[in-house]
Amino acid sequence: MPPKKQEEPEEEEPEEVGPPPTEEGNGKYIFPDGAVYEGDWQKGGELGEAVRRHGHGTHIDGEQSYEGQWQDDAMHGQGTFRYASKAVYEGSWAQNEYQGEGKYTWANGSCYTGSWNANQMHGKGEYIDQNGQRWCGRFYNGCLLYTSDAADEEDSVDLGGRRIIKKKKK
C-alpha cells in the first residue's frame, strides 16, 4: 500500500487592508480657540480618521470668516473670505490660495477684479482705486505690466502697496 500523502495546510489569503471607509456628514464644530465651523465634513478614506472640512461650509474666526467650498480641510472652489480689516475676497480658491478668477476689495474701496495665481494678481485684470481711477491690463506676480492711457504721465503708480510698471511707448 502506497504511503499516504500528507495534506498541505491551506494558506490563508491575506486580508486586504485599505483605508477606512469614507464617512460624510453635516454639523457644527467649535475649535478650542473659539472659532466655529458649520457645514459639510468628511472623515476616513486615504486621509485617515481625522474629521476635516469638505463640501460647503462657513468658518468664523473672530472678525473674519470664510463661506464657500472646502476640499480636504482647505478652502478650495468658490468662496468668500471677509477679513477683520474689512477687506473681502470673492472668487476661486485652490488649497487656501486665491487661484483663478476673483475680486479683492480693500477696506478703502479700491478693488481688483481678474485673474489670480498663488494669492497674486496675475493675468488679465482691472484695478480701480478709491477715487474711481481705473487701470486695465496684464498683471504679473502682483505688478501691472501694461495699462491703458489712464496713467500715462507717470512711469509707475502705487496701487495700495503694489506698483504698476508701464511699458515704454515706442
Query: Per-residue pLDDT averaged across 58-69, rounded?
Result: 98
* Distance (Å, whole) CA 134 – CA 148: 9
> pTM for the whole thing?
0.75
Q: Give the pLDDT confidence score for residue 149 in this predicted structure.
A: 47
What residues have CB less than 8 Å from 20, skipping those under 6 apart?
44, 45, 48, 49
> In the chain, what percentage of residues exceed pLDDT 70?
78
Which residues make beta-bridge pairs with 64?
61
Q: Give the pLDDT confidence score for residue 150 in this predicted structure.
A: 47
- Tally Cβ neighbours within 10 Å of residue 136: 16
Residue 141 DSSP code? T
Higher per-residue pLDDT: 159 or 16:
16
Q: Give the pLDDT confidence score for residue 170 in this predicted structure.
A: 44
